[in-house]
A and B are shown apart, each in its own frame.
Chain A
Amino acid sequence: MSRSSKKSDIGKLASEGLWQNNPIYCQVLGICSTLAVTNLVLNTIVMCVGLVFTTALSSMTVSLLRSFTPRNIRMMVEVLIIAFYVIIIDVLLKAYWPEMSGNLGPYVGLIITNCIVMGRCEACGNSNPPVMAFFDGMFNGLGYSFILLIIATVREILGMGTFLGFGVPYFSTPYWDKWIIMVMPPGAFFMLGLIVWIFRTIALPKESK
């Protein structure tokens, strides 16, 4: 593979993961965590970093092992690899950032069950070289992250009047009657529905009816 073609391949992976085949609004994967962690922007950021890290590295590891792993047990091996990376994140957070570990509670462990991670291992890691698998995982993770951050920003501002914990002009004053429902689970459904609708309209104008 020549250098230039490799570059354009990565570009293609980026546009697929971030836009054309975005895990949230195209593949509609990982919705559970989208609903759960997006009521505060800070929690969302940490969750996204964890997910990008896990998707990229587990996809790469699956790809490295792809010629040795027997096909009939490949899913077990994938789960093992994913769990491995997630536990590492969990342990590191507990040891070096206890406040965040407390905030996120069970959500970190739930990265293991995020369909995006396994989906990328299966769809890309299994059949592509490690570098491709790494970038594919990373861009899918980033595609997930930017949608989550949009949702979290809107929810936190409307629901709590803050952004990253700091007061937002107007929204944190008494003039703004906080929409508590936005930080509760139903708010996530409304936001996600709107986001999927808007982005599908922009990104996939020629979607077959």
Chain B
Amino acid sequence: MVEKRWFPVVYMFTATALVSSIVLGLTGFTAQRVKANEKLTFEKAVLSVLPDVYDQSKKISGLELHKIFTEKVSPPDDSSFGAYLFKQNGQIAAYALPIEGQGFWAPIKGIIGILPDKKTITAIAFYEQNETPGLGAEIAKPQFRNQFKGKVIKDGEKPFTIARPDVALDESSVHAITGATQTSTRLEAIAYNDLKNWQEKMK
């Protein structure tokens, strides 16, 4: 029995099959929820960069959030080049441009809100990032993100700068996070690329 040579092989196979099927079952069972969570995180990020869509100091449920999103935000069309549109009375009130690129550990994905003048930033939000907790991951905190409000995308080589914390700021720069140089430079590069591309296409 236990001494038979094939026993360990069969044992291992059975154990693996059993365990894998439980895990697969659980993954299948939660798959929809996980997907819905991801979608909701994205929608929340989009809404949070648009001006005056909803009161962000209040906590609202995922369902309400989704409802606001479907009511107020229209998906990118031919003239917006990838940016989501927020319309009021038929007029475009703001763009929400998804940005994406390599962070320090994993891709950073975020949204930049831009006014109809195509150069004033309303806000920034991130819906996917895996930066170092406590350091790079601070980009997702309000302290960092609030700096972006009202900043202007410049023409030219460097449309936007994330400066060292001891440097004076101008209308197109914000302060980086101390101790997270890599995240900051990479985020800056992502913002350069995507903002420049988008502005060129929108001209």
Residues of A within 8 A of B (CB): 37, 39-40, 43, 68-70, 72-73, 76-77, 80-81, 83-84, 87-88, 91-92, 94-96, 98, 102-106, 156, 159-160, 180-181, 183-184
Whether B179 contacts A87 by the Cβ 8 Å rule is no
User: Helix, strand, loop or mixed for chain A's interface?
Assistant: helix
CB distance from B7 to the nearest CB of A (A): 6
Residues of B within 8 A of A (CB): 2, 7-8, 11-12, 15-16, 19, 22-23, 26-27, 30, 33-34, 37-38, 41, 105-106, 128-130, 133-135, 137, 178-179
Complex A-B: 18 CB contacts under 8 Å: A39-B134, A43-B134, A68-B2, A70-B8, A77-B15, A80-B15, A83-B19, A84-B23, A87-B23, A88-B23, A91-B23, A91-B26, A91-B30, A92-B30, A94-B30, A104-B133, A156-B134, A184-B179
Whether B37 contacts A105 by the Cβ 8 Å rule is no
In the complex, which residues of chain B have a beta carbon less than 8 angstroms from the beta carbon of A40? 133-134
Q: Name, among A68, A92, A156, A183, the residue most crowded by chain B CB atoms within 10 Å (CB to CB).
A: A183
Q: Name, among B19, B106, B128, B130, the residue most crowded by chain A CB atoms within 10 Å (CB to CB).
A: B19
Q: Please give me the residue from chain A that is nearest to B106 by CB atom.
A: A105
In the complex, which residues of chain A have a beta carbon less than 8 angstroms from the beta carbon of B30? 91-92, 94-95
User: CA–CA, A160 to B180, complex, Å?
Assistant: 14
Whether A80 contacts B34 by the Cβ 8 Å rule is no
Whether B130 contacts A106 by the Cβ 8 Å rule is yes
User: CA–CA, A31 to B137, complex, Å?
Assistant: 22
CB distance from A21 to the nearest CB of B (A): 30
